[in-house]
């Protein structure tokens, strides 16, 4: 049996995020179009005899204990699979943390899928998604490995087709708490009036995506951090067809139909950002991604 596996863990952006209502359990009912993008963390898992999970990550702000969702994913998987193993998980972090890009959820999903392969546990996609939903609302989406429509609290996932448009992601270098943003939402938005039901319309091209870019959480984060609106303006001034904050932020993205215009905007914007910010030129992933690369 193989003892080591390496897998890519992609970031996501929300092209559409409508908050429908606050639920009795405290979560919010969502309607969201989620797009994985070609910005990846790299995860390696080594399995050995014995017990205990260790996480190694050269990132100052990332916990390496149970507070790390990847740790809890490994713990849950071993428990569910009834496996006794010593696991050493190395996370090479490229996705900004606390950024609205789903990095932590993606890492957790990648750990579940990689362990399923590494330990030959044979769990199906549905079981992995159920496990993922216990870890966080965004985790099941990353099990699907492709564009999706997310409803419920974000954990009810339906595969959709999205055109592979180009995106520039800009992260201003500070973290925003998802719970804080949802908590403030009720103060700025009357959710009772938002009882519309949505039926999914296909996004056939980048122009359709542009016309429907929307995020209910943006007003909350942008009101506290004016940087969000400033970065969106910078993207629009540099030729983006549309710009939006992703998830609970603070990362914003610009949409581009062609690689050439995205690359030009990237070169123009990059020198104007401060040292704390990061910028990425990525593409929307159309099909399965982040699958374990196989034995190392
Ligand atoms: O599910 P997850 O642990 O990622 O959610 C983090 C926090 O975000 C929750 O504790 C909740 O405050 C908020 N949240 C929400 N509605 C959702 C998803 C998250 O209110 N659909």
pLDDT for res 287: 72
pLDDT for res 195: 56
Given CA atoms 65, 66, 68, 73 in this order, what sign does their dihedral have? positive
- Ligand 1 center–CA 115 separation, angstroms: 25
Question: Which listed residue (85, 138, 145, 216) is catalytic?
Answer: 138
pLDDT for res 202: 86
Active site residue 93: no
Report yes or no: 143 and 27 within 8 Å, Cβ to Cβ: no
Sheet arrangement for strand 278-283: 242-245, 252-256, 166-171, 278-283
pTM of the predicted model over 0.85 = yes
* Shortest-distance Cα residue to atom 8 of ligand 1: 179
- Ligand 1 center–CA 26 separation, angstroms: 8
Helix (H, G, I), strand (E, B) or coil at 155: coil
Active site residue 161: no
Q: Which atom of ligand 1 is nearest to the CA of 28?
A: 16
Report yes or no: 58 and 64 within 8 Å, Cβ to Cβ: no
pLDDT for res 293: 45
Q: Measure the CA–CA gap between 195 and 199, rounded to whole angstroms.
A: 13
What's the burial of 202, exposed, middle or buried (CB within 10 Å: 0-12/13-18/19+)?
Answer: exposed
* Shortest-distance Cα residue to atom 12 of ligand 1: 179
pLDDT of the chain, 296 residues: tens digit per residue:
669 999 999 999 999 999 998 899 999 999 999 999 999 999 999 999 999 999 999 998 899 999 999 999 999 999 999 999 999 999 999 999 999 999 999 999 999 999 999 999 999 999 999 999 999 999 999 999 999 999 999 999 999 999 999 999 999 999 999 999 999 997 666 665 555 666 778 899 999 999 999 999 999 999 999 999 999 999 999 999 999 999 999 999 999 999 999 999 999 999 999 999 999 999 999 876 544 444 43
Report yes or no: 118 and 125 within 8 Å, Cβ to Cβ: no
Question: What is the best residue among 103, 178, 181, 185 to mutate for testing ligand 1's pocket, by most ligand atoms within 8 Å of CB?
Answer: 178
pLDDT for res 295: 41
- Ligand 1 center–CA 238 separation, angstroms: 34
- Ligand 1 center–CA 236 separation, angstroms: 30
Question: What is the best residue among 12, 14, 21, 28 to mutate for testing ligand 1's pocket, by most ligand atoms within 8 Å of CB?
Answer: 28
* Shortest-distance Cα residue to atom 15 of ligand 1: 27
- Ligand 1 center–CA 137 separation, angstroms: 7
Residues in contact with ligand 1 by the CB-under-6-Å rule are 27-28, 30, 136-138, 153-154, 178-179, 182
* Shortest-distance Cα residue to atom 3 of ligand 1: 136
End-to-end CA, the chain: 12
- Ligand 1 center–CA 96 separation, angstroms: 19
Q: Which atom of ligand 1 is nearest to the CA of 153?
A: 21
* Shortest-distance Cα residue to atom 2 of ligand 1: 136
């Amino acid at each position: 049996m193989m003892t080591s596996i390496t897998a890519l863990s992609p970031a996501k952006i929300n092209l559409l995020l409508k908050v429908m209502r606050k639920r009795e359990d405290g979560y919010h009912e969502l309607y969201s179009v989620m797009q994985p993008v070609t910005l990846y963390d790299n995860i390696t898992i080594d399995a050995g005899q014995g017990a205990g999970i260790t996480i190694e990550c050269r990132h100052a702000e990332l916990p390496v204990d149970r507070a790390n969702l990847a740790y809890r994913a490994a713990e849950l998987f071993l428990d569910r699979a009834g496996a006794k193993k010593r696991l050493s998980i190395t996370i090479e972090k490229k996705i900004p943390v606390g950024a609205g890009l789903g990095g932590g959820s993606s890492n957790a999903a990648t750990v579940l899928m990689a362990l399923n392969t590494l330990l030959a546990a044979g769990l199906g996609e549905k079981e992995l998604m159920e496990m993922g939903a216990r870890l966080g609302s965004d985790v099941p989406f990353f099990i699907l490995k492709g564009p999706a429509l997310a409803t419920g609290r974000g954990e009810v996932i339906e595969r959709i087709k999205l055109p592979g448009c180009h995106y520039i992601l800009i992260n201003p270098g500070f973290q925003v708490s998802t719970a804080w943003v949802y908590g403030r939402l009720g103060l700025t938005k009357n959710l009772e009036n938002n009882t519309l039901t949505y039926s999914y319309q296909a996004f056939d091209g980048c122009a359709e995506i542009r016309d429907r870019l929307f995020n209910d959480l943006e007003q909350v984060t942008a009101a506290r951090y004016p940087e969000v609106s400033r970065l969106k303006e910078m993207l629009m001034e540099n030729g983006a067809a549309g710009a939006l904050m992703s998830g609970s932020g603070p990362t914003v993205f610009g949409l581009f139909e062609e690689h050439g215009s995205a690359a030009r905007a990237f070169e123009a914007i990059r020198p104007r950002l401060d040292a704390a910010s990061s910028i990425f030129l990525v593409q929307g992933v159309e099909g399965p991604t982040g699958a374990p690369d196989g034995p190392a």
